[in-house]
Each structure stands twice: as C-alpha cells, then as structure tokens.
Structure 1
Amino acid sequence: MTTSPFTVEQLLQLPVFRQAKVLAGSGGLTNEIYYVDAMEIPDLTGWLRPNELIVTTGYSVRHEPFLLCRLLDEMHRVGGAAVAIKTKRFLQDVPADALRKSDAYRIPLIDIPAEIPSIDLTHSVMEVLVNRQAAVLREVQEVNQQFTNLVLNRRTTELVVLIGQLLHCEAAVLDQQGNVESSTSRFSEWEIAEKRSVQVGSRVLGYLAISRRLEEQDRFAHMCLEQAVTILAIEFTIRQSLQLQREREQESFLVDLLSGTSGEEELLRYRAKQLGIPHGARQYVMVIRPCREEERQGETMDDLLHDLLKDIQAGEKTTRRGVLVGGEIAVLCTTAHRDVARQREEAVDYLRALTQSGKRSADRKRLVCGVGGVRERLEEITESYREAQKALRIGSLVRPRERIVHFHDVLVEDLLQDATGHPSLAVLTQTLVEPLAAYDREYGTELLPTLESFLRTGGQTKRVGEELYIHRNSVLYRLERIRDILGVDLNDAETRLRLDLAMRAWKMAARA
C-alpha cells in the first residue's frame, strides 16, 4: 500500500527541486507535506494549514525581511511543513533570526533558483500530492469492498481481524453495554486507546475499539477506521432488522399458541425450537397486568408494561417468553415441578424479582399476576392461559389484597361462577348472607367480615381476632350474634360448607 508520507526530504528529490538548497531547519526534513500554496502577501495569519509547504519569491518581505520570522512563528503555531523561497529574486540575504527560528522550529528554509517558475514548483508538488491521494483512495476503496463483503456474508470476526491488520493493532467490536462481541486474538479491554461509536441515526448500537491511538498524519489509518465504523453500522442494522423480524415471528407464534389456533403438538414443538420459544416437559402461563386502580392511568401503565416486557424478554430465554395482549402480559414459562405449591412458589419468586428490579420498581409493585395450571403439551397451553386470566379476574373479586393468585386458589369460585343464577345458590345467599349484610348496614357492625375470617381460618377464633385486630371475647360475641340472626350451629360441618359457598358466591356477585 502506498501510504508512506510525502516528506520535505522526498520533495527535494523532485526534478524541479534538485537545485534547491536547505538553508536551515534540516531537523524537519521528515515533515510530511499535505498541501502547497504560494505566498506573496506579508501576513498569512489565519490562512496557514498544518503540513503546508509555502512557496514564495520573497517579494512581500523585501523591504521588511523580519516578516519572514513572523511567517515561521505562524507556521510553527499551526504545524507547517517548510518554506521554499527564491532568495536571489528580491531578498538576497535571509535574516539570521529567521535561520535560527527555522532550526529551532524544525521548519526547513529552502533556497530555490530564481529562474524556476513558481507555477512549475507548485504544479510538481500538487501532482505528487494528488497522485498519492488517489492511490490512498483506491486502497481505501479496496478496503471498503473487503469490509462490505465480510459484512454481507455475516463474517464479523474476520472483519475485526482485517481491521487489526490494517491498523497494526488489536481491535474489537463492543455492544451497547461495552461487552466484547468479537475481537482479535490478543485484544484486552485494559489496552483500549480509541473507541468509536457505531451509530444509526442518533442511536449508538455499539463501538469499535482499538489498542493504539492513531497519529493525526496517518490519514490512511483514519480513513480505514471511518470506513470500518460505517460498515459496522450496516452490520448492526442488519442484526437489528433480523432480531426485529425474529421477535415478530415469536410474538405471532405465542399469540397463536395462547389462542389455541396454532396446530398439532409435533409441529408446535418444531416451531418453538426454531424460534427459541421456551418448551419442555411441563409449561404454564402467567398473566401480569395492572391492578384495577392502576388501569385508569392509561398511557403510564402501558409504558410500564412495555418496560416490564423488555426485562422479561432479556431474561433467561430458555425458560420464559412474554407477549403483550390486550393490556396485559402473557408469559409462557417452563417448569420442572408438577405440584401446585412448588409452581406457585416459583411464580412468586419470579414476580418478586421482576418487580424489585428495572425501571419504576415502585410502580411494578402494584402489578397483579394470575397463574394457570401446568400442562405437558403445548397444544393445551391455551387452557393454562385461560386459567391464568380467570385467576386474575376472580382473584380481584375474592382476594383483592393478594398480588399473585393461582387458578387452584379459586377453583371453588370458578365453579360457583358457572352456577350463577342457579335457584339453590340464590336460596343459600338469601338465607345465610343477606340477613347479616342487612344487619351490618343497619347497626354498623362487622359480622360478615368476622364470619368470612372464621370460615377461612377453620374456626380458629384466636386467628380471627388477630386478623380483625379485636379481642377474642369480641370474636365470640360476634359469632353468638351470627348464630342468633341465622339460627344455625357454626360448629356443624354441613352448615360451615353451606356458609362458605354462600359467602364466596355473594362476594363475587357483590364485587363484580
């Protein structure tokens, strides 16, 4: 590759400069030349560029030779390359101060024959610079083609190796979090000297890191690095597109699976494996949504659910996958447990982990969850989904204080819901519940809550007192009033069964 610098020393080897003589500043013969310009005005302050060769007849400083010192000061400030001056044309002698500054600044002062036209001098230099720039551009174009071919063939690792070879250093591609995705063999995160953002629009998708800092004059390396960053942006865009397509396919499959319209078991398991959807010997569905009070917040809760879904999808992909359906998240889960208690414990731990981490953890704690039963076949998972929805719906009526409800917790209520309107159920609530409700409304008592707690705790009056924050004697008094009003024996098992069924049915009807 023709990437070696064009220096002052190489300038003097050009035919048009062979009769030139270095008056001072020989320490700067290795200065690289990027530009060439002719100066016939006394002051170039603000116009000079780094690595620039100035060609002059000396006409503008013929009456004030000290201005040559000012030119050298300015060239030193901006990093100029050299000054070529026709000393025998107008100047005759170069001031001693200018020679000293030339040596001090390492900016060569070159005496060129007066008879050589300035246009020949500048044209020769321009020709070299243009030819070299064209060669660099051709090489960069070839490099860009290699980069593009590697990206289109999804060979990112080879791309990184090529970058390292071109820049003579170790290189790596990092993701958005700064984790190494692919790298050269000896790359170390502790040796990163430069890191360039890989952006698509205003969004940073990753980084390209290298182990050495590029010199400003190493234009080829800078151009290669810029090309690499541009090509990596294409690579990240391709990845993003493929990931988005895969997520949409997963979402579509989950919706079909939950709705029960997705096909036979063997085909379902094949598709689940291809799409990376969790599937195993046993699976179930969790449904997560805002509690009823939070649903009124609309867009705020929608944002919360979207954030929560991102965390679910970013978690362990072999055990859980979620989809947003109608204002709630349905999560397909795999489990090793058969019994309900272990499954419930697993679901509780997972919901706790979700709500205690991530964005807006305080809002997440106001989410509620329904859990369906375990199924061994994917084609039956829609039943677990419906059970999870029922657990949420019924749980909000009969267990409003509980954040997570398993379908097995509300089996009786589900049965009673199907019997809504049955004459026998109506007789039970009219004779065993409504008289207590009427009494509570008239006298401001709490007989119904006392009876509910008594039935739920299996008749343990001490626990009833603890739940209601009243003395045990007050519990006994209330139970005596209930016996008097209903005319029943609360110690009779048959009576307790009827009371329990009536209370559950009445609560669902009252809160629906």
Structure 2
Amino acid sequence: MAGQSGLGHEVSWVLAGRSRPPIFDGLKGNELVLISVRVLRALDEEFHLSRLFNYLSEKGVAGAAILGEIPDVGIEAADELNLPLFVLPEGTSLPELERNITKYIAENNQQLQHWNQEVYRQFTELAIEGKGIAAVAELLCKLSGKAVIVEDANFRARVRFTPDRSEVSSLVGITESRNGQHNSFTPEVSPVMDDNGPNSVLHNNLAILREWLHNKDLRASDPPLHTFEMASDGHPAMLQLTAPIIAQGTVAGYVSLLGSDFDRRQRVALSRAASALAIERAREMAVSAVEDKFQANVLDELLDGGFTSPDAIIERAKRLGYNLQLPYWVASFAFRQQEKSLRKKPLTIVLDGREMELDLPVSETMGRELQRLVEQESSRRNWATITRVRDDRFVVFFANTTGKEFGGPAEAKKVVMIFLERFANSYPDISVSAGLGRFYEGGVEGLPKQSAEAEKAVMMGLRLFGPGQLTYFGDLGVYRLLLTIGNNRELREFYQEVLGRLLEHDSRNGGELIRTLEAYFRYQSSPSEMAKNIKVHRNTLLYRLRRIQDITGFDLEDSETSLALHLALRIQEVLGEKK
C-alpha cells in the first residue's frame, strides 16, 4: 500500500501488536510488525495510525502488515517515512501469522548460518592457499552476483570484477614499496585514476568514511559494513556496500559490492571476503617488509657510500629492479609547515642556546603519496626514478631511461622543479624545498657525493633563501667551500674569533654593526651606496664603520682583514647563526 522505497529493509524478526498497552514492547529494529486496526480502536477511539508509524520508523522497524482499513493520512505518512505497508486479508489470524513468519525466519537464519559456514570455508581455503587478492574478489563476485571492487588504502583500484565477466576488468598490483617505503608493480590495466587523484566513491566521501571508521571496532575477523551512495548522473541510484580490510592493526584497503540493494547473504559474503583479503594483505605486507629491509640497506649504502664494490651494489640493486648504470642525478626534498597555516608554534630545537625550526618528518602515508607523484611524472616523461624516505628527507634519483644524460644542470633543475611543484600542489599547507647535487661521471661511485651535495644544498637553501626554493649545489659559490669543511668546531672558532666582539656588542646594545658590515661588503665599501640602499644616513654609517674598527681593532681597508671578515659572515650563514 505504501513505502515501496523501503522494500529492501532487512527483516530480522516479527512482532504482533498486543491488545493492551504497550502495544509493542522491546522493539530493537528490523522487525516486521503485525497491526490490527480493530484492536487499536478498542484501546483508543482517537488513535491515529500516522503517529504509530512515526514511532515505528524511529525504532527502525522494517515494515508493517495491517489488518483492517488504513486511512489515507496513514498511507501518506508511511510513504514519507519509507515504511512499507502491507494489507492483510480479512479474517487473518495475527497470532498464527506471527508463528508462521517466526518459523520462516528461523529456518532462513539456519540456512544463512549454513551459507555463512560454506562461504567462510571457501574464502579461508583461498587465503590459506595464497591464491591472491584477485581470486578472492572473483569468488565474491560469483557468490554475490554483484560487481566487486578492491581498493588500496589510498583508494586506488587493485581489482574489479563484474558478474557478467569471468575476468578482471581492472587489475593493479600495488603492494608495499620498493622505492623508499612502498612498492608498486606495473599494472596490467591502469587503475581508475585522474590527474587529481583516485576516482573513488570512498575518496569522494572521505569525511563520512573517516567518521564511520573512527566509531567502529575494527577487527579483521568481523569487519563492519557501510553503504555509500554513488553519484548517479541522471541514472538510477546506485549504492556501494563497503568493508575495510584490516591487516596488522590498520586499514590496509577496502572491498566493496556495487548495486541497488544488498541482501543478508551478500553482506555475509562481503564480510567473509574482507577477512580473507586481510590475510592476503598481511601476507603481502610481511613479504614487503622483508623486501623493504633489503631495499633500504641497498639504498642507504648507495646514499652513504657504504658499499665495498660498485659491481656488487649494481647487482644487488638489479635484484630490486633498479638499473644503476643509468646516469642518475640526486635531489633531496625537505618539508616545513607554512607560517600562514600554523595553528601553533612550529616544532623547534634549542642548539647552543639558539632556537632552530625542525623540518617535518616524512610519514609513511606521505611517503606513499610522494612516491606516487614521482612515478606518475616519470611514466609520463620516460624517466627512471628511485625514491627513498630518510626521516625528514625525501630523496629522488632520476635519469633518462634511454641512458642519455640530461643536458646539464639547467635541464636537471627543470626536472626537480616539476617534482617540487607536484609535491607543493598536493600539500598546499606545507612549504617544499629542494636541493640538487652536481652530476659526477663514474656511475655509482659518484652517487654518494651527489647525495651529500643535495642534502647540503637543501639545508643551505633553507638558511639563505627560506623555504619553498630549489638550490643547486653548484650555484652556492663560496658556501660550497665552507660546507666541505667537515669540522664545524673549527668554523665556529674562526667565526667567534673574527666577529665575536661585534656580536657581543650588538647583543648587549641592540646594535646594527653586523648588518652594517654586511652592507659594507655588499656595496663594495661605498658609504654612499650603502646609505642609498639600506636607507641610513651616510654620516651614521661612517660612525658605525669607525665603531667596528674601534671594537675589533681591524683595519677594514686591509685586504686580508676584509677576506677574514667576509668569510666569517658567510660562516655565520653556514652555521645558521644569522638572524
């Protein structure tokens, strides 16, 4: 009679209305209630069915079967509430009907239990035998008669089956990485992706998904299910019933059924499939962890120069799928929270009495996304890349797959800028900085030096130019010489010996003598040029220059003295002492 849109409601029990208040006691949801209009009128001549339907809807009742005439206002109320109404034939015995339906539900539950056990057996066998994710998804498709999609934790499609096809319509082998911390194999068919990221119902409902998962007890053996509405674009509404894949205590992916409605058997099949997929993902993650440990050792030896034989490291890298005979460049990326997006003070450390801002560590999730962006650009441009996460750095080796070298530093800088801009666009609240080392002939033996230079370049770039810039080590001039001096203690002693008295004077008096000395060298010792550019009167500058000579005892016109002062100012920047 009404509520057709609610016909997909699951019925878990049946309950007939009593002849005395309360009419319905102990409603828990999903019941089919049996109602006699005559009994209702006997209890209260003014009784309104519309109010009863509102109450039943609030309790989550699946539907109502009515014995007697239903007024139009009651039908309208049931339609608005999506509460299915069924009219029973005159003379129907509600107690007898209740017994028969109860018997049917019990028998159906027993059959469902047998189904549950059989489905559990089939999925468990697949998981034990290690048949793989595609086999589990295919079985789920056959058992449910619905389209199936399995996604990784970043909402990228791994496998997809439809009921009318016996083969995978999209298969992407994505596991933990060998490039840094995560790994992806070349897909047989491209995943459902666009330039802006995953084309996924879950990704488009990210806030709802996170809230749902946050409020659930996540267990691999009994994962929760949730229904998401898919964009229809004018077509009949479609739903996606999703279960998380829980492996090693975390959400390692999602498996979903697609359709207009889902019955209890399909829900059971999805839940059991998610448990089997959890075993498969745990196996993948365990294998990947071993591979990653081997991979990390190889790349760390490559970056640090810890290998004993070039031929040996080339062979070990080859086992990981890396061709170290290509002419690689090395870039290092650092990440800091942008000031405009800071909600609290950035993470800092006090070193030698001075507060220094720390770079953001690269998390596992962030490492995955950075690697994905690198791989996406590399596949478009025919580049070979190797990536490695090292605490607060993301290191990228890049080369032409043809073996042809990039056309010098200018072209290599363009490559790094492409990566830097992709990273910055993906993380708008983070400033991304990059350092590029110089290219060295000689293959792998030059890579450790390149790596060290890339790290020094990004560090000096942050100090000299601030975050968000690319710094090429070859452009650092005198700073390259200072950075190659491994003994910071010697640099600091020289710095204090030359500038210590001026630093103490400025600190004690709030003076500007160090700033004046900087301007003196920047504008070729010309007080007139200094006055014009730093907006200080020429006589004031001449006074300050005399004070500098009085305090230090140095003659600013002496060439050796000038060189020492100039170097000390540059050391100040290398040590990060410049305010």
TM-score category (smaller protein): 0.5 to 0.7
One-letter code aligned to 1:195: L
Question: Is 1:193 aligned to 2:258, yes or no?
Answer: no
After superposition, the Cα gap between the structure-2 partners of 1:131 and 1:171, relative to the gap in structure 1 and judged at 3 Å, is same
Q: What is residue 271 of structure 1 aligned with on the other side?
A: 316
- After TM superposition, the score normalised by the length of structure 1 is 0.57
Question: Is 1:409 aligned to 2:475, yes or no?
Answer: yes
Greater per-residue helix proportion: 1
Once the two structures are superposed, what CA deviation does each residue of 1:23-61 show, in whole Å capped at 9, x if it has no partner?
Answer: xxxxxxxxx99657899965542357867698xxxxxx9
Q: What is residue 208 of structure 1 aligned with on the other side?
A: 256
Deviation at residue 382 of structure 1 after TM alignment: 1.4
Q: What is residue 380 of structure 2 aligned with on the other side?
A: none
Q: Output aligned runs, 1:307-318, within 5 Å.
A: 309-317=367-375, 318=384
Q: What is residue 346 of structure 1 aligned with on the other side?
A: 415
CA distance in 1, matches of 2:101, 2:369: 61
Deviation at residue 321 of structure 1 after TM alignment: 0.6
CA distance in 1, matches of 2:373, 2:532: 41
RMSD: 5.8
CA distance in 1, matches of 2:452, 2:368: 23
After superposition, the Cα gap between the structure-2 partners of 1:346 and 1:151, relative to the gap in structure 1 and judged at 3 Å, is same
2:447 aligned residue (381, 403, 421): 381
1:334 aligned residue (374, 399, 404): 399
Q: What is residue 173 of structure 1 aligned with on the other side?
A: 150
CA distance in 2, matches of 1:53, 1:312: 55
CA contact (8 A) 1:279 1:334 kept: no
CA distance in 2, matches of 1:40, 1:328: 70
Q: What is residue 296 of structure 1 aligned with on the other side?
A: 348
After superposition, the Cα gap between the structure-2 partners of 1:107 and 1:242, relative to the gap in structure 1 and judged at 3 Å, is farther
Q: What is residue 158 of structure 1 aligned with on the other side?
A: 135
Q: What is residue 224 of structure 2 aligned with on the other side?
A: none
Deviation at residue 358 of structure 1 after TM alignment: 0.8
Once the two structures are superposed, what CA deviation does each residue of 1:322-379 show, in whole Å capped at 9, x if it has no partner?
Answer: 3225x54444333541523332343344334434541523xx15x4635243455234
Deviation at residue 312 of structure 1 after TM alignment: 2.9
Question: Is 1:149 aligned to 2:130, yes or no?
Answer: no
Deviation at residue 165 of structure 1 after TM alignment: 2.5
Q: What is residue 45 of structure 1 aligned with on the other side?
A: 24
CA distance in 2, matches of 1:310, 1:225: 27
One-letter code aligned to 1:212: S
- Count of residue pairs the alignment pairs up: 407
CA distance in 2, matches of 1:37, 1:356: 58
CA contact (8 A) 1:164 1:171 kept: yes
User: Which structure has the greater CA radius of gyration?
Assistant: 1
For the residue of structure 2 that corresponds to 1:261, the secondary structure is coil
Question: Is 1:183 aligned to 2:166, yes or no?
Answer: no
CA contact (8 A) 2:399 2:406 kept: no
Runs of at least 5 residues in structure 2 that lack an aligned partner in the other structure: 1-9, 71-84, 170-191, 193-229, 340-345, 351-355, 376-383, 488-494, 504-510, 543-554
Question: Greater shift after overlay, 306-315 or 131-140?
Answer: 306-315
Q: What is residue 87 of structure 2 aligned with on the other side?
A: 106
For the residue of structure 2 that corresponds to 1:281, the secondary structure is coil
Question: Is 1:258 aligned to 2:303, yes or no?
Answer: yes
Once the two structures are superposed, what CA deviation does each residue of 1:249-301 show, in whole Å capped at 9, x if it has no partner?
Answer: 4333322222222343344234334435574511133234479x988368984
CA distance in 2, matches of 1:348, 1:467: 37
After superposition, the Cα gap between the structure-2 partners of 1:202 and 1:412, relative to the gap in structure 1 and judged at 3 Å, is closer
After superposition, the Cα gap between the structure-2 partners of 1:445 and 1:244, relative to the gap in structure 1 and judged at 3 Å, is closer
One-letter code aligned to 1:334: A
For the residue of structure 1 that corresponds to 2:348, the secondary structure is helix
After superposition, the Cα gap between the structure-2 partners of 1:212 and 1:241, relative to the gap in structure 1 and judged at 3 Å, is farther
CA distance in 1, matches of 2:124, 2:357: 43
Once the two structures are superposed, what CA deviation does each residue of 1:448-487 show, in whole Å capped at 9, x if it has no partner?
Answer: 64655669xxxxx9xx97998489xx9xxx9xxxxx9748
One-letter code aligned to 1:205: G
- After TM superposition, the score normalised by the length of structure 2 is 0.52
One-letter code aligned to 2:415: E
After superposition, the Cα gap between the structure-2 partners of 1:468 and 1:384, relative to the gap in structure 1 and judged at 3 Å, is farther
CA contact (8 A) 1:282 1:376 kept: no
After superposition, the Cα gap between the structure-2 partners of 1:371 and 1:182, relative to the gap in structure 1 and judged at 3 Å, is same
CA distance in 2, matches of 1:377, 1:166: 55
Q: What is residue 371 of structure 1 aligned with on the other side?
A: 437
One-letter code aligned to 2:24: T
After superposition, the Cα gap between the structure-2 partners of 1:157 and 1:45, relative to the gap in structure 1 and judged at 3 Å, is same
Once the two structures are superposed, what CA deviation does each residue of 1:487-512 show, in whole Å capped at 9, x if it has no partner?
Answer: 89xxxxxxxxx999767644444554
CA contact (8 A) 2:152 2:254 kept: yes
For the residue of structure 2 that corresponds to 1:319, the secondary structure is strand
CA distance in 2, matches of 1:278, 1:312: 21
For the residue of structure 1 that corresponds to 2:306, the secondary structure is coil
Runs of at least 5 residues in structure 1 that lack an aligned partner in the other structure: 1-31, 55-60, 84-97, 113-117, 422-428, 456-460, 479-483, 489-497
Deviation at residue 79 of structure 1 after TM alignment: 6.0
Q: Output aligned runs, 1:425-464, within 5 Å.
A: 449=519, 451-452=521-522
Deviation at residue 173 of structure 1 after TM alignment: 2.2
Question: Greater shift after overlay, 446-455 or 316-325?
Answer: 446-455
One-letter code aligned to 2:348: R
CA contact (8 A) 1:278 1:334 kept: no
CA contact (8 A) 1:50 1:81 kept: no
Deviation at residue 400 of structure 1 after TM alignment: 5.5
After superposition, the Cα gap between the structure-2 partners of 1:469 and 1:162, relative to the gap in structure 1 and judged at 3 Å, is same
CA contact (8 A) 2:17 2:33 kept: no
Deviation at residue 213 of structure 1 after TM alignment: 0.8
